[in-house]
Amino acid sequence: MLKIFSWTSLILIGGSIFLANVPAEVPAEVPADASVASILEKVARTGKLVAGVPTDALPFAYRNQAGEWSGYSVDLLERIQAQLRQQLRRPVELELVPVTSANRLSMVTEGTVDIVCGTVSATRSRALDVEFSLGYFITGTQLLVNPASRLGNQFTIGVIAATTNQQFVRQRFPIALFVEFEDRAAGLAALEQGRIDALASDGILLEAMRQTLPEAESFEVVPDQPYTEEEYACAMPRNTPDLQQAVDESLLTFMQGVLNGNPADLQVLDTWFGTVVSIDQQPLLDYFQRQIYRHRQSAPDPESPPAGSSF
């Protein structure tokens, strides 16, 4: 069963030990861009929220056998849609648009989509270009391997273009050979054919692929706990606090509902992380608890006077 804790440790590959520490990022000033119009005003005017989602990220967002959008992130977007419908007091259509790892953030900054929810890791560097919601899932970089494969002199790792996983493994396994793929499906095919020794990606996505394989037990996600900690969050245009607040409220309501045992919210979690992909849910529940606590700690005290007030 997949565990989704962060982990900083060692891995043994082909008789060699590699250290897997994550370098700390330095906070940066975020430039303002007052030209960005209110997304909520646009949604209120058009009656439509345009959201970008990946097509191959089981169990977060993908096309099912009927060609319909499905997944955990899709369910969360429908809750955001309901939040906007209630807030704006008008019908709101949710239009889903396919995105890739390479173009998802540029589609936000260029205004092609209003929001992207899927498997975007919130990082300080990316926050220079987009605004992030509260995180709604936690995972990290792991490797999908075939333990029965005989490793050669050159360890070959498959990486997905424009991902944080690609950046991490290139830094931490400098003697490895890297093969870049456009998506995980192509990387998995190369792994099954023996053209690479491992495929690097977020552990939850690798485990989802592994569990769908005809011979799932022939493959393994290693190490047991991820090297890095990645928070999935929705990405929105900079300086759109109205949309960010609505999205955060929707996510907080969902997470609190799960912790309170609300049947509808529990069904979403159990469907995607119990039935479709089986994982240990406790770390995710602990993460939800931390997210709610952090939000409460950062929220202004309604009983406190505004800054600069005197009584």
pLDDT of residue 45: 94
Q: What's the pTM?
A: 0.83
Average pLDDT over the chain reads 86
Q: For residue 137, report the phi and psi dihedrals to the nearest 5 degrees.
A: -160, 150
Rounded Cα–Cα distance for residues 208 and 162 (Å): 20
Go through the domains of the chain in sequence order and give each one's CATH number. Answer: 39-139+229-293 (3.40.190.10), 141-222 (3.40.190.10)
pLDDT in tens, 32-50: 343 345 899 999 999 999 9
CB neighbourhood size of 97 (10 A): 14
pLDDT of residue 198: 95
pLDDT in tens, 197-233: 999 999 999 999 999 999 999 999 999 999 999 999 9
* pLDDT tops 70 at residue 111: yes
3-state secondary structure of 310: coil
Residues in contact with 139: Cβ distance below 8 Å, sequence separation at least 6, in sequence order: 4, 202, 203, 204, 205, 226, 230, 232
Nearest to 116 by CA among 125, 128, 103, 124: 103
Rounded Cα–Cα distance for residues 193 and 190 (Å): 5
Cβ distance 237 to 111 under 8 Å? yes
Residue 278 sits at the vertex; the CA angle it makes with 277 and 282, to the nearest 5 degrees, is 125
- The mean pLDDT of 133-162, rounded to a whole number, is 88
DSSP secondary structure, 128-174, as one string? GTEEEEEEEEEE-EEEEE-TTSPP-SS-EEEEETT-HHHHHHHHH-T
pLDDT of residue 25: 39
Rounded Cα–Cα distance for residues 52 and 69 (Å): 11
H or E, element range at 203? helix 203-212
* pLDDT tops 70 at residue 162: yes
Token readout for 174 is 């400098």
Please write down the long-range contacts of 166-171, taking CB distance under 8 Å and 24 or more positions apart.
Answer: 166/200, 168/22, 168/141, 168/200, 168/227, 168/228, 169/141, 169/200, 171/23
